[in-house]
């Protein structure tokens, strides 16, 4: 089964449900989709469930979520819906991590290069991931139109990762 992960205007496709960050020396898994939302007729619906291992941006405290439950994280709480989970740091209006599973009717509102990939590769499910957090000392900021990793900005990218998505900066890609 193929999964699509949308970060800003970038789409990453993978057969696995993990997202990592590679700092050039090692790779750190920071998000795992344990189960995705699926409406079951006649039985309880299956909800979106994640594990996350990130750090807050302002005070660099670790935040660890297992099965949608905060295990470690000073002043962090979750808000869950069947197809969405958001992690909030105290006194912040925007979530530090927002994982949302799109319904098929929502695909039409995406950028054309993303919908083209969805139609050609047929992933199920499709997630948008937004947030403002740190992984392995690097600042990752994702909003509707862009993804920044430290000082690098990424937009309109399409990547296939058969063994799980790995994010890295251009400095790591080009060895600078």
pLDDT of residue 50: 98
Mean pLDDT of the chain: 91
pLDDT reading at 5 higher than 90: yes
* Average pLDDT for 33-44: 84
CA distance 40 to 76: 31
pLDDT reading at 174 higher than 60: no
Secondary structure class of 155 (helix, strand, coil): coil
> Per-domain residue ranges for the chain?
3-168
CB contact at 8 A, 8 and 17: no
Tell me which of 5-9, 36-40, 80-84, 170-174 is least confident: 170-174
**Closest residue by Cα to residue 45 from 98, 109, 103:** 103
CA distance 62 to 154: 25
91-118 residue pLDDT tens:
889 999 999 999 999 998 899 999 999 9
CA quadruple 145, 149, 153, 157: dihedral, nearest 10: -70
């Amino acid at each position: 089964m193929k999964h699509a992960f949308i970060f800003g205007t970038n789409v990453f496709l993978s057969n696995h449900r993990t997202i990592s960050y590679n700092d050039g020396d090692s790779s750190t898994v920071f998000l795992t989709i344990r189960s995705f939302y699926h409406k079951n007729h006649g039985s309880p619906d299956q909800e979106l469930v994640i594990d996350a291992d990130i750090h807050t941006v302002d005070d660099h405290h670790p935040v660890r979520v297992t099965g949608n439950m905060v295990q470690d994280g000073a002043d962090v709480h979750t808000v869950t819906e069947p197809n969405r989970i958001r992690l909030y740091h105290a006194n912040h209006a925007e979530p530090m991590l927002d994982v949302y599973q799109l319904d098929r009717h929502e695909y039409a509102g995406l950028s054309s290069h993303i919908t083209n990939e969805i139609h050609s590769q047929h992933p199920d499910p499709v997630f948008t991931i937004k947030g403002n957090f740190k992984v392995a000392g690097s600042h990752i900021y994702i909003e509707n139109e862009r993804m920044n990793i430290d000082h690098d900005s990424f937009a309109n990218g399409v990547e296939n990762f058969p063994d799980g998505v790995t994010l890295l900066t251009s400095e790591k890609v080009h060895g600078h």
